[in-house]
Chain A
């Protein structure tokens, strides 16, 4: 027994320590060694896109948060991050390589942390949207909200492949605004006590 244990130890690669924070996200049994489903890859990238539209230095913040949470082994640098996000099938330069479960976890954790920091802003914007739509006013009446929508549309159009049918579905400003608002709602849910777990679990909905 002891010999075999030693051999096992020697054969195993230098312990790739997976940060403890990722353990709080349970993986459905059938996804343990599989890549993330298509909708999950799309959803994660869109949530990050919404964060970037909320926060001017969002993409920088993603990297900073990665190192703060000691996830820099998974998200090493800007290029690495771009590659992970390019697993989104709607991306202009969509990668064939897929997103592993660990990489997806890291992105979800980062998104939830960033969302939590912006809780107040997210709530404000959603309340503003609610008030404006009750009064049937256009979104331009709230500066911060129209700023967010504007930036989200710009990000979406510059990064998504306009020939994909999934992108064609968002061919008008209104449709993109709707997407941006629903992403804002999802971001709000990410800020909650169990928001990260809820967001993670929802990624596998309809896949098991």
Chain B
């Protein structure tokens, strides 16, 4: 018994005729028996009158080509055929909206001889141009056939993505190699150009001047300008500077073992020589004891390099207060018109009562024009009065800058915290 199956779309009709395999089917009773043997396949495309007709071989090829081309249409990646001989049915892209269906005249393809399809005797393949919508109808007819489990169940939709090796094979090698070639050649040009550029001489940064030597600021009283060499206040760390402020009476002299030997032996100054700021409360009165105490590793690790001459005032309110006082003193004592070729930079140490203990020029013009500034006068007037007790008081350090026009600018040496 012949079974007919038809898949109709507006632009394409697929007509299949086949037979039921009686050995597998359960008989004639089925409403829609399985078509398992294909006898004839017809593909009617709207606009091209004679249908494409063929047997199983033609139909297999048609289904494969359509399925494969549909994927190519969606992805734009062409999937070349593996076989040397062109398959019975092929689809090729002409432009975005036109596609060419090519059917070879061999195998079990029967092409009707009437109409525009050419003569029966010619061996030229039939070429039909179809639009995207027609192509879709063809694809849809094939897909409906695939979805129909009662028709040729042996054929099913096989979809596998195209392998990577086909992805950009259509680009010629020359075109693909061009970017790399341009890159390499531009690198070569750059290398040649840079070859003529002289190698810049490496200038080592100049060694920083040792701060300790230029630091004439000392908190030791008694003789003026007495310098505690090697123990200049080169940036006491916060630990070292804060702890003493809690016990302002104790002047911590040289907690580092290196500097402990340079502590002035004068009994006036070495009242309390504490090994570390942390241990200031348990200060030992004799310098001998301090020397024995220092090597303990735990104390070394706490503040190994701290070297403060006097405890420093870090309290913001006090600093602000003193800052104002210093500014006032300088302004009151400075001469009317000052002019300098470069700004002068001084570091000034003050006691909490507002007296200037010492100052120190921090750049060359500051040393050269020292006598034009009110600082020597301020220091000479204030120091003698406090010489006896001066060493015990904590100190505040300020940065004093005289601008080119002699305007003094005062700010805390380490800024406000």
Q: Is B73 an interface residue (CB 8 A)?
A: yes
Contact indicator per residue, chain A 188-202, by CB within 8 Å of chain B (1) or not (0) = 110011110111011
Q: Is the CB of B140 within 8 A of A193?
A: yes
Interface 9-residue window, one of B129-137, B245-253, B283-291, B352-360: B129-137
Partner pick for B74 among A26, A28, A133, A189, CB 8 A cutoff:
A189
Q: Is the CB of A198 within 8 A of B140?
A: no
Q: Is B97 an interface residue (CB 8 A)?
A: yes
Interface 9-residue window, one of B141-149, B191-199, B204-212, B299-307: B141-149
Q: Is the CB of B159 within 8 A of A198?
A: yes
Which interface class (under 10, 10 to 19, 20 to 34, 35 or more) fits A?
20 to 34
Contacts of B160 in A (CB 8 A): 28, 201
Q: Is B337 an interface residue (CB 8 A)?
A: no
Partner pick for A202 among B136, B140, B161, CB 8 A cutoff:
B161
Partner pick for B161 among A182, A186, A195, A201, CB 8 A cutoff:
A201
Q: Is A63 an interface residue (CB 8 A)?
A: no
Partner pick for B143 among A185, A194, A199, CB 8 A cutoff:
A194
Q: Is the CB of B143 within 8 A of A28?
A: no
Contacts of A203 in B (CB 8 A): 75, 161
Q: A188-B133, A198-B71 are in contact. Are A207 and B96 (CB under 8 A)?
A: no
Q: Is the CB of B75 within 8 A of A202?
A: yes
Q: Is B388 an interface residue (CB 8 A)?
A: no
A43 to B215, alpha carbons, bound, how many Å?
A: 73
Contacts of B161 in A (CB 8 A): 28, 201-208
Q: Is the CB of B163 within 8 A of A206?
A: yes
Interface 9-residue window, one of A13-21, A73-81, A122-130, A147-155: A122-130
CB distance from B80 to the nearest CB of A (A): 12
Q: Is the CB of A201 within 8 A of B159?
A: yes
CB distance from B99 to the nearest CB of A (A): 10
Partner pick for B97 among A130, A197, A208, CB 8 A cutoff:
A130
A111 to B252, alpha carbons, bound, how many Å?
A: 80
Partner pick for B75 among A26, A129, A205, CB 8 A cutoff:
A205
Contacts of B70 in A (CB 8 A): 189, 198
Q: Is the CB of B163 within 8 A of A192?
A: no
Nearest residue, chain B, Cβ from A130: B131
Q: Is A60 an interface residue (CB 8 A)?
A: no
Q: Is B164 an interface residue (CB 8 A)?
A: yes
A188 to B143, alpha carbons, bound, how many Å?
A: 14
Nearest residue, chain B, Cβ from A206: B167
Q: Is the CB of A208 within 8 A of B157?
A: no
Nearest residue, chain B, Cβ from A123: B133
Q: Is B77 an interface residue (CB 8 A)?
A: yes
Nearest residue, chain B, Cβ from A184: B132
Q: Is A174 an interface residue (CB 8 A)?
A: no
CB distance from A190 to the nearest CB of B (A): 8
A195 to B167, alpha carbons, bound, how many Å?
A: 22
Nearest residue, chain A, Cβ from B131: A130
Nearest residue, chain A, Cβ from B159: A201
Contacts of B139 in A (CB 8 A): 189, 192, 198
A202 to B162, alpha carbons, bound, how many Å?
A: 8
Partner pick for A126 among B73, B79, B133, CB 8 A cutoff:
B133
Q: Is B166 an interface residue (CB 8 A)?
A: yes
Q: Is the CB of A194 within 8 A of B75?
A: no
CB distance from A69 to the nearest CB of B (A): 20
CB distance from B299 to the nearest CB of A (A): 52
Residues from 1 to 35 in A contacting B, C-beta threshold 8 Å: 26, 28
CB distance from B26 to the nearest CB of A (A): 28
Besides A126-B97, A194-B146, 12 new A-B residue pairs in contact (Cβ under 8 A), listed by A number: A126-B131, A185-B132, A192-B136, A193-B140, A193-B143, A194-B143, A201-B161, A204-B161, A205-B79, A206-B75, A206-B164, A208-B163
A-B contact pairs, 28 of them (CB 8 A): A181-B97, A185-B73, A188-B133, A188-B136, A189-B136, A189-B139, A192-B136, A192-B140, A192-B143, A193-B146, A194-B143, A197-B157, A198-B70, A199-B74, A201-B159, A201-B160, A201-B161, A203-B161, A205-B72, A205-B74, A205-B161, A205-B162, A206-B162, A206-B166, A206-B168, A207-B167, A208-B161, A208-B164
Give the top 8 A-B pairs by smallest Cβ distance, nearest first: A206-B167, A204-B161, A202-B74, A205-B75, A202-B75, A205-B77, A193-B143, A201-B159
